[in-house]
Amino acid sequence: MPKFAANISFLFTDLPLVDRIYAAREHGFSGVEILFPYDDPVPEITRALTICGLPLVLMNVPPPNYTGGERGFAAIPGGSDRFRHDFARALRFATALKAQKLHIMAGVAEGPAARATFVENLRHATAAAPGLTLTIEPINQGDMPGYFLSDFDLAAEIIAEVAAPNLALQFDAYHAQKITGDAFAVWDRHGHLARHIQIAGLPDRHEPVAGAVDYPAFFRMLDAQGYDGWVSAEYHPAGATEDGLGWRP
């Protein structure tokens, strides 16, 4: 059975952030994911993680004001100085929180200049954090209109171009299904590049039950292939989080 992490930026949101870590442990998750852990005291988060024995498996870069703010800017031409400054700040947080992975968000951009900027910034980031796994994630245009990285083939090309051992694919089955209509086919083509997986149901990004993506079959496939990374629950619960956890094997 895969190792399941709770994305507590999505789950248990009726609780303060630190209390969500305890809720994740109580409900059987083995790790947690926090998209932007920049506004809560690091010592309190670290203490809760330590008490619960849960790792922080992934967080996002850069640290914006996410409400109304930019959803990343690593691919925005002319923003490399800003990216390097904010990446250094994010790396300090990741080190303090012992995060296992950093997801670098591309932002809204298009064209050859955006691609070149993204590659340049990824090369800087992978060199600045050689002991940390960095990920890039294709996100569907319906959820994030104009997002630069919305194609898995492009993500694979960029990973090959950067050619850093600590850069990997973040495979979100929800986005893969939305982008291509066949998440399994995307996994067959690019799953070997993935070091982190996220899941959610379609079409409304609720619980990952069997439907457009047959998640029970997906989990069996991961086991059969020997995938030993995390599978993170990144979905909006249809009701109370604890009432919708029956999807786990």
Among residues 161, 207, 234, 242, which one is catalytic?
234
Residue 184: name the closest of 228, 221, 150 by CA.
Answer: 221
pLDDT above 60 for 214: yes
CA separation, residue 196 to residues 33, 76, 103 (Å): 11, 24, 10
pLDDT above 60 for 102: yes
- Res 68: pLDDT: 55
- Res 65: pLDDT: 53
44 is catalytic: no
pLDDT above 80 for 248: yes
Yes or no: say if 2 and 219 are a contact pair by the CB < 8 Å rule: yes
For the chain, what is the mean pLDDT?
95
Yes or no: say if 174 and 212 are a contact pair by the CB < 8 Å rule: no
- Res 10: pLDDT: 98
Question: Average pLDDT in the 231-246 region?
Answer: 97
- Tell me the pLDDT band of 63, cut-offs 50, 70 and 90: low
Among residues 137, 157, 161, 207, which one is catalytic?
137
Question: Average pLDDT in the 210-237 region?
Answer: 95
Question: Average pLDDT in the 72-91 region?
Answer: 93
110 is catalytic: no
Coil, strand or helix at 236: coil
- Tell me the pLDDT band of 71, cut-offs 50, 70 and 90: confident
Domains of the chain by range and CATH? 3-247 (3.20.20.150)
pLDDT above 80 for 114: yes
Question: Average pLDDT in the 86-103 region?
Answer: 96
CA–CA separation, 122 and 159 (whole Å): 9
Instruction: Tell whether pTM > 0.85.
Output: yes
pLDDT for 23-54, tens place per residue?
Answer: 999 999 999 999 999 989 999 999 999 999 99
Q: In DSSP terms, which residues pair with 60 in a beta bridge?
A: 103
pLDDT for 115-166, tens place per residue?
Answer: 999 999 999 999 999 999 999 999 999 999 999 999 999 999 999 999 999 9
- Tell me the pLDDT band of 55, cut-offs 50, 70 and 90: very high
